Amino acid sequence: MNKSEKIFVAGHRGLVGSAIIRRLESERFTNVVTRERRELDLLDERAVTDFFANEKPEIVVLAAAKVGGIKANNDYPVEFLLENLRLQSNVISAAHANNVRKLLFLGSSCIYPKHAPQPIREEALLTGPLEPTNDAYAIAKIAGIKLCQAYASEYGENHISAMPTNLYGPHDNFDLGSSHVLPALLRKAHEAKTNGATEIVVWGTGEPRREFLHVDDMADACLFLLANYDSAEIVNVGCGEDITVRDLARLICDVVGFRGEIRFDPSKPDGTPRKLLDTSRVSALGWKPQISLRNGIAATYDWFIEHELGSALSAR
């Protein structure tokens, strides 16, 4: 990629978008465009059309989305479906209307059937029923993939789509009502340690398995795909290994230094039993992740203490 090409990162304040910005800065890209939500509402079709017509970005990374963990997805299916459909349609269609050279759409591993054979190959898409706790979000993401593929086949657009596994890292959402499991357990373990509590409560049975990728590895994969991949076929991005929620909770407690009990609450949903991505396609292209789960969790814990709690690292 030419480092002076104009790149619009939609969603630059989010987990993935902010990691992509960090990476573009460290690689010395000189023409990166961002907009705060108050300046550009991606749900507003007119505003998005005008923005693209004025700015004429050459590359677009569509990292903006309404995202959340199992509870938020389950509680607010209307917002997850509608906002994601609107936002992505606005950006993808405006990219076409304004001759964007390349667009990267970010999907999710929840697009695959609940009981897809593991590890999940890209070919599993639309071969079976979805996991009900996040089917609204998944349907929106599948529509985004299909829209990118339709622009590629009908108009020859170079719209590519990456499917990240469960991501975590700096700028994640640590709110217990809407976050994903990893930041939620970091907060719970930290608060239990600092409050002298004897246990933390982990939702579900602890049996589901999840694969976790540090968002800096994801940003690395995004730049790699932008530079090296030109097909409308979706590409999985993961680390190739998964872990039970139980073992994740143990690992997080170990990193945080919480020595109390881990109690499970089976009245809360488990969600999909397992979603480990098959990453042969991205591996064959020459990409692999660098950050181990333990190191990634430790770095995210440091970030949480410094940025979310606003207190010194000495609390650790």
The correct pick among 246, 250, 268, 274 for binding ligand GFB (CB under 6 A) is: 268
Q: Considering only the stretches 20-28, 85-93, 107-115, 144-152, report the one whose residues sit in contact with ligand GFB under the rule CB under 6 A.
A: 107-115
Q: How far is the CB of 73 from ligand GFB (least distance, A)?
A: 4
70 binds ligand GFB (CB under 6 A): yes
180 binds ligand GFB (CB under 6 A): yes
DSSP, res 115? T
Q: How far is the CB of 86 from ligand GFB (least distance, A)?
A: 17
108 binds ligand GFB (CB under 6 A): yes
Residue (of 279, 76, 77, 114) closest to 208 by Cα position: 114
| Identity of the residue numbered 132 | P
The correct pick among 269, 274, 298, 303 for binding ligand GFB (CB under 6 A) is: 269
Q: Residue 1 or residue 197: which is nearer to ligand GFB going by CB?
A: 197
Is 137 part of the annotated catalytic residue set? yes
Torsions phi, psi for 117 (to 5 deg)? -60, 140
Which residue matches tokens 């800096």?
A: 216
Determine the size of the site formed for ligand GFB (CB under 6 A).
26
DSSP-assigned beta bridge partners for residue 207: none
DSSP, res 259? -
Torsions phi, psi for 209 (to 5 deg)? -110, 140
Q: Which residue number has the CB closest to ligand GFB?
A: 69
105 binds ligand GFB (CB under 6 A): no
Query: What is d(CA 6, CA 51) in angstroms, rounded to the nearest whole number?
Result: 13
270 binds ligand GFB (CB under 6 A): yes
Q: Residue 71 or residue 190: which is nearer to ligand GFB going by CB?
A: 71
Q: Residue 157 or residue 242: which is nearer to ligand GFB going by CB?
A: 242
DSSP, res 120? B
Q: Residue 42 or residue 142: which is nearer to ligand GFB going by CB?
A: 142
| 8 A C-beta contact, residue 265 and residue 203 | yes
Torsions phi, psi for 254 (to 5 deg)? -65, -45
CA angle 39, 41, 47 (to 5 degrees): 85
Q: Residue 110 or residue 219: which is nearer to ligand GFB going by CB?
A: 110
| Identity of the residue numbered 41 | D
Binding mask 223-262 for ligand GFB (x = CB under 6 A): ----------------------x-----------------
Length of the chain: 316
Q: Residue 33 or residue 251: which is nearer to ligand GFB going by CB?
A: 251
Catalytic residue chosen out of the listed positions 76, 112, 137, 151:
137
Q: What CA–CA distances, in Å, run from 37 to 40, 43, 312?
A: 5, 10, 30
The correct pick among 11, 14, 69, 289 for binding ligand GFB (CB under 6 A) is: 69
Would strands 261-265 and 209-210 be described as parallel, antiparallel, or unpaired?
unpaired
CA angle 64, 269, 87 (to 5 degrees): 15
The correct pick among 12, 171, 193, 210 for binding ligand GFB (CB under 6 A) is: 210
271 binds ligand GFB (CB under 6 A): yes
Query: What is d(CA 177, CA 227) in angstroms, rounded to the nearest whole number?
Result: 37
**Where does this chain bind ligand GFB (CB under 6 A)?**
69-71, 73, 108-110, 134, 137, 166, 179-181, 184-185, 202-204, 208, 210, 245, 268-272
Q: Would you please indicate which residues are annotated as catalytic (active-site) residues?
A: 137
